Amino acid sequence: MSTIVAIVGRPNVGKSTFFNRLVQRREAIVDAVSGVTRDRHYGKTDWNGREFTVIDTGGYVIGSDDVFEAEIDKQVELAIGEADAIIFMVDVEHGITGMDEEVANLLRRQKKPVFLAVNKVDNNKRAADAVEFYNLGLGDFYTIAATNGSGTGDLLDAVVEAL
Ligand code: GDP
Ligand code: MG
C-alpha cells in the first residue's frame, strides 16, 4: 500500500479542484479500492520526486450541497485511520463555519500530521482575511488558490516532507 494523503473539509471549499490539479499531471486516477465506500476518489501523484496516493473525500453519494455533518465526520475518521498525512481544507470566502470547527476538533485529537489549507485566497484582501483561521486552534496554515495553483507548492513541500 502506498503512502496516502487525504484531503478533508466541508463541501465546496475546493477539495476536488485541488485533487484534480494534483492527479491531472499523472492522469492515473485509480478506482476506489474495493470495499471502500464510493464517496472517495483515489489518485496517484508525486511531488519533489515523492509518490503518494491522494484521497479526495466528499459527499459524492449524498450531493455536495446537502451533506450531513455525520457524513463529514465519517470521512474525517476514515482519513485519520488510513492516511499518512491529512490536508484540512477551509475556504476564506466563507470564513470559519461550525462544520470547520467540528472537523478541527476531530483532527486535534489525533496524531497524524495535519496541514491546514486556506483555499480561495485569490487576492491580497483574502490573504489578510485568512488570519481568522488561527482561531481553529491548529496553528499555522497555508494560503492557496486551488484554481490557479497559487501557494500549493509550499503546501505540498511541507506535506511530502512529513511523509
Ligand atoms: P469541494 O466540494 O470541496 O470538492 O469543492 P469543489 O472543488 O467542488 O469547489 C467548489 C467551488 O469552489 C467550485 O465552484 C470551485 O470552482 C470553487 N473554487 C475552488 N478553488 C477555488 C479557488 O482557489 N478560488 C476560487 N475563487 N474558487 C475556487
Ligand atoms: Mg468535491
ipTM confidence: 0.99
Structure letter (DSSP) for residue 31 = P
pLDDT recorded at residue 157: 98
154 grid coordinates: 509550499
CA–CA distance, 163 with 161 (Å, rounded to integer): 6
**Average confidence (pLDDT) per 10 residues, the chain, 163 residues:** 89 90 64 46 91 81 55 85 96 95 93 97 96 97 97 98 96
Whether residue 151 has its Cβ less than 6 Å from ligand 1: no
User: Residue with the nearest Cα to atom 2 of ligand 1?
Assistant: 12
Q: Which residues surround ligand 2, an ion (CB under 5 A)?
A: 15-16, 58
Whether residue 146 has its Cβ less than 6 Å from ligand 1: yes
pLDDT recorded at residue 26: 53
pLDDT recorded at residue 25: 57
**Ligand number, closest to the Cα atom of 119:** 1
Give the CATH number of domain 4-162; options: 3.80.10.10, 3.40.50.300, 3.40.50.1580, 3.40.50.150.
3.40.50.300
User: Residue with the nearest Cα to atom 25 of ligand 1?
Assistant: 120
**3-class DSSP state for residue 29?**
strand
H-only helix segments in the chain: 15-24, 69-82, 98-108, 124-129, 152-162
- Tell how far the Cα of 117 is from the centroid of ligand 1, in angstroms: 13
In the chain, what are the domain boundaries? Answer: 4-162
pLDDT recorded at residue 2: 84
